[in-house]
Amino acid sequence: MGAISLRAVEKVYGHGPKANKVIHGVDAEIADGEFIVIVGPSGCGKSTLLRMVAGLEEISAGEVHIGGRLVNRLEPAERDIAMVFQNYALYPHMSVYDNMAYGLKIAKVPKAEIEVRVQKAAKILELGTLLERTPRQLSGGQRQRVAMGRAIVRQPAVFLFDEPLSNLDAKLRAQTRLEIQKLHRELGVTSLFVTHDQVEAMTLAQRMVVMNAGRIEQIGTPEQVYGKPATTFVASFIGSPPMNLLAGSADGSRFTVGTQTLKLPQAAPRAGALVLGARPEHAELSTQGAWPLTVEMLEMLGAERLVYGRLGNAAFTLRIDGTLVPPRPGDVVPLHVAPEHLHWYDATTGQRVP
């Protein structure tokens, strides 16, 4: 069983007045066989959290349970985990076969068992013709597959991935994402995958953990996190381009942004200071529109086009079909956003307002 339970987990570097808390009481429950992606900007604590699960970082407070066992005091080798690193961490003088088999040899697994496990992993990862090569004879994508193969042969309860695709180019990242998805479907092993890339998070995750400054902002499926961001941070981090966030004041069916008053398709959830959110793809050019967008710049992206402009003094991005006749810089065009696509947030806390 590979269920993971994080209970009020904290990480503090240093002591006394110079102590620096980087993980602030993280709670999360990960089911056996689930694929969880921890995503957030650089420095948010996601890799530190993963390393605490692995036993590579000491836990300052709280508890980590793997498969029902409290593992706070256990060494990494005792936690029944296998980790795949960003930099591959392969032995340069060993063949692919020996790199994959090394951990099993150290654990004194019988030679026949090692052969079976390595050949099975090589078949899954299409490494069968590369087993005699050394790492320097492989491409970056092949090296990463070897690193994953070394983890697979361990047959652990949990896989931990620490930004394993960061060193690959865009095409290889896409291919390797597919391989990781197929791998999880075949093996069904509980997996924690850390990345700063929201595309990786959205495409790989069964559930996402969005982190910011050592705290969890939201846990949910990619659809939940994208469709109903819990905070303004999640709304601005998940999505490309990110959600438009307009700070202003609501009064019934009117919302004032700077000197511009926008007519709302339905009344705001409450009066006063709020942040109004709308995804670029959910705004449309329409003669029915009540929001006057002053166009400043356009970007052609092939199948779609991004229109950058302003509503009052607030920046706003619109995504339109690339086949449409676009507006021109300087034009003032009417926008319409359906009420179900409006998002409201507290102006002080950044929390979602129902």
Domains and CATH numbers, the chain: 4-231 (3.40.50.300), 241-346 (2.40.50.140)
Percent of the chain clearing pLDDT 70 (strictly above): 100
Among the ranges given (4-8, 85-89, 247-251), the one the predictor scored with the smallest mean pLDDT: 85-89
Q: Apex CA 27: angle with CA 24 and CA 33, to 5°?
A: 135
pLDDT score of 335: 93
pLDDT score of 144: 87
pLDDT tens per residue across span 283-340: 999 887 789 999 999 999 989 999 999 998 899 999 999 888 889 999 999 999 999 9
At residue 175 the predicted structure's pLDDT band, cuts being 50, 70 and 90, is confident
pLDDT score of 221: 97
Alpha helices in the chain (DSSP H): 46-54, 96-106, 111-124, 140-153, 170-187, 198-204, 222-227, 232-237
At residue 179 the predicted structure's pLDDT band, cuts being 50, 70 and 90, is confident
CA distance 180 to 163: 13
248: β partners = 274
pLDDT score of 58: 94
At residue 86 the predicted structure's pLDDT band, cuts being 50, 70 and 90, is confident
Q: Which of 341, 304, 310 is nearest to 326 (CA)?
A: 304
pLDDT tens per residue across span 259-286: 899 999 999 999 999 999 999 999 999 8
ω before 41 within 30° of 0 (cis)? no
